[in-house]
Structure 1
Amino acid sequence: MDRSLLRYISRRALQIPFLLVGITILSFFIFYLSPIDPVVAYFGIETVNKMPVSDIALVKDELGLNKPIIIRYEAWFLRITHGDLGFSQIQHRPVLDTILEKFPATLLLTIPAYLGAMLCAIVFGLYATAKEGSLFDRTMTGVSYILYATPTFLVALLFMLIFAVWLGWLPASRMESVTAQSTILTMLIDRIRHLILPVTVLAMSHFTIFYGYIRSSLSDSMREDYITTARAKGLDEKTILYKHAFKNSLLPFITQVGLAIPYFIAGSVVVETIFAWPGIGRLTFEAAMRSDYMLLMGITLFTSIIVILGNLFADVAYAVVDPRVRYE
């Protein structure tokens, strides 16, 4: 590996702790300055109205809400440095244990969607570029605009209505059937059937972004001078597109793929909530609805680490694809 790249990775790694400290400060003060009373959110307004003032004060004391906000942040930050993200009031268990339990389900959903969106965008982008100006190219442009403008929750509900309710081909929600499966094969088939709808919806919501990047990058590459030189040498269009233009178009595409990780995480919140998928996205929604600030801050910190590492990986991949890149 190039020494300049190693130095760059080292510098980025040294920046990560400072970024995380800034994230903890922002997330803590944003959540705790919210006008929603955690006691009301946890017990409900009707229950709180019936509670004696002494009981409400006791609950606030147990939750640490009576202490100054700076003291609460300091105590939370010190626990974080020891690997303790706090205690979830709605899950009744440590925050880190809750997140780690839900994380595999989110990976199972987002990785196929992420890879599927990238591969489909590359394939359709290459074919549309090869047939530039054709009916297929214009159709793909129109479809990508429509999908980009359509909210993810609407696409999810339409797919659920068509394929689960009307046609009955696929299950509408959950990660597995309620009834027990007898063999490993039937369990695998059942899991795949439950994956199809949420993975497709999540992939479609990001396919348009990836398709726009790769299509635009390919179009720009096909107008470069080296492409004109390749045509003058007698190379056929397929060789020019796949061997020359595509390789150079991957550079900006890789960067955008790394930057798209936060949007995938945000999209998983909507998809997991609608399809009742037991991952971090649905957990985030439930924590927000119940104002479980400790859990929300833990999820924010956990996903921030993923985003930072994902962007670092994209930078490294950029240098691997193009050895000319040097990080100074």
Structure 2
Amino acid sequence: MLGSPCSARLRPAVRRVIEMQPSMARLYKKAERLMSLAEFALIDRIRARTLERDDILLGIGDDAALLQPRANEQLVVTADTLNSGVHFPVETPAFDIGWKTLAVNLSDLAAMGARPAWCTLALSLPEASEDWIEAFADGFFALADQHDIALIGGDTTRGPLSLSVTAMGQVGRGQALRRDRAQAGDDIWVSGTLGDAAGALRLWQQGALSIATATLLADYESLRLRLLRPTPRVTLGLRLRAFAHAAVDVSDGLLADLGHIATRSNVAAHVDADSLPISHALRELLGRDAARDCALRGGDDYELCFTAAADQRDALHYLAESLDVPLTRIGRIAEGQGVHVDGEAADGGYQHFA
């Protein structure tokens, strides 16, 4: 729990060698003391920012939290880890890291149709920089406050930059959206636009905009914002409980995540590539073919992909207007297996251990 800071300590044999040299011993003890003080300050800083909720009986400061879920509701739990250099570039601003650390978990709750409630946060930090921690907390709690989710505990340790969140939400008994309920004849829908985050990362890694025009730079910044500060579709997920048969959040790429629905529901998913919602900025920066590839395989979109009966089309168009969230019909569910694009079997998407 956030309440017992973990100080990095040298192995006993190494420490004995240091203690034989008084000057080195004094330096070691001073560094250890400063480390502990920094971690206590981190815990106090985070505790001061967290939201209060009536269903938290005991939060940060004890060995574990005590929670009181609502009657007749089921608990939805998800966890994600973000590592520097894998899930975000090493030069990513701390505010954006804080935002995204929570956003990816909220997206999972959205895909289940759950209302966010509580979360834990585990931090591995190379150093306890006050400015970095302040900016990280600003990003994390900016999003947490939007969705009324409270931090109830976690852990801190010293090491390479890594962040893990476990998020918990609640949903009415039997109302959760799942991957295994798609039916032959369903339409396939996605929210927002696809491929923007993957396109931004590709351009970032290539350094391709060093001589770009102001217009292209503006397009790139819009894509970069999608990469660093994704918008979890929490409200949409709550509303989709009345319409969707199956749902998944698009984190590893449309083909990979739609493939989860196809596999779990034992159906085939047929996608019309010309129907994919691709932003003007992505097309301008990458061109038609590369933009389409990002939309199909890129990942990091954190949009919702879901299936619904064909007779729900008018209701879903109205829902899109009422929430000001674009919803695009991109294909259909049929008997069979696998994911197909324009009639051809397809696979792809991000794989962590490929």
Q: Same fold (TM over 0.5)?
A: no
Q: Which has the larger radius of gyration?
A: 1
Larger RCO, structures 1/2 (Cα 8 Å, 6+ apart): 1
Richer in helix (by share): 1
